[in-house]
């Protein structure tokens, strides 16, 4: 049994739709007033987590219907969070962890539910991909690695926001989960 063609179609459409806001909406290319490059370690570790789900002989396994259905649900959440998250950030969206001189603490849109909706969308993409192609032990290991990388990024970014917005940022961090709803 091999990975069916429709799984490749789901992956292609899923990754394309998820990535579009990162191409469509212009990211901030101006130099930030404060930059913390330690978050790049998180990006690297998250990338390792993504790479892990593609290991093994994924092409030789066909997902069950429930796995496809679950993957599609994760994809829908990933799309919603990536599109709404990038749009809500507006001109503050950037790859590196940085603060602009005119930075604002965004608390609207998906930022009412989680402080880092783009990371939540990335997590959903990992779960969607892994649910369809990875073995369960491999998916679990990939999730752990990905969450380590995401925690690095979250802590760096939250630290930057706290240094800029003080108690407002701390109140926000206490009242809104980082990237998984209902988990603080």
Q: What is the pTM of this model?
A: 0.93
33: DSSP letter: S
Q: Which residues of the chain have pLDDT under 50?
A: none
In this predicted model, what pLDDT tens digit does every residue of 65-118 receive, in sequence order? 899 999 999 999 999 999 999 999 988 888 888 898 888 999 999 999 999 999
> Can you read off the two tokens belonging to residue 172?
């926000």
Asked whether 100 and 30 are in contact (CB, 8 A), the reply is yes
pLDDT of residue 14: 93
């Amino acid at each position: 049994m091999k990975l069916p063609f429709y799984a490749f179609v789901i992956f292609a459409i899923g990754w394309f739709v998820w990535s579009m806001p990162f191409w469509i909406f212009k990211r901030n290319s101006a130099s930030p007033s404060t930059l913390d490059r330690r978050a790049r370690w998180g990006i690297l570790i998250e990338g390792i987590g993504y790479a892990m789900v593609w290991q093994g002989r994924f092409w030789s396994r066909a997902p069950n219907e429930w796995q496809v259905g679950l993957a599609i649900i994760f994809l829908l959440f990933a799309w919603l969070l990536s599109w709404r998250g990038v749009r809500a950030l507006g001109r503050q969206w950037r790859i590196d962890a940085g603060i602009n001189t005119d930075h604002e603490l965004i608390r609207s849109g998906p930022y009412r539910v989680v402080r880092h909706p783009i990371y939540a969308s990335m997590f959903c993409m990992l779960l969607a991909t892994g649910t369809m192609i990875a073995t369960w032990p491999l998916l679990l290991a990939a999730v752990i690695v990905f969450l380590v990388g995401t925690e690095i990024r979250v802590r760096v970014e939250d630290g930057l926001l706290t240094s800029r917005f003080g108690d407002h940022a701390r109140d926000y961090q206490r009242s809104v989960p980082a990237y998984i709803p209902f988990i603080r």
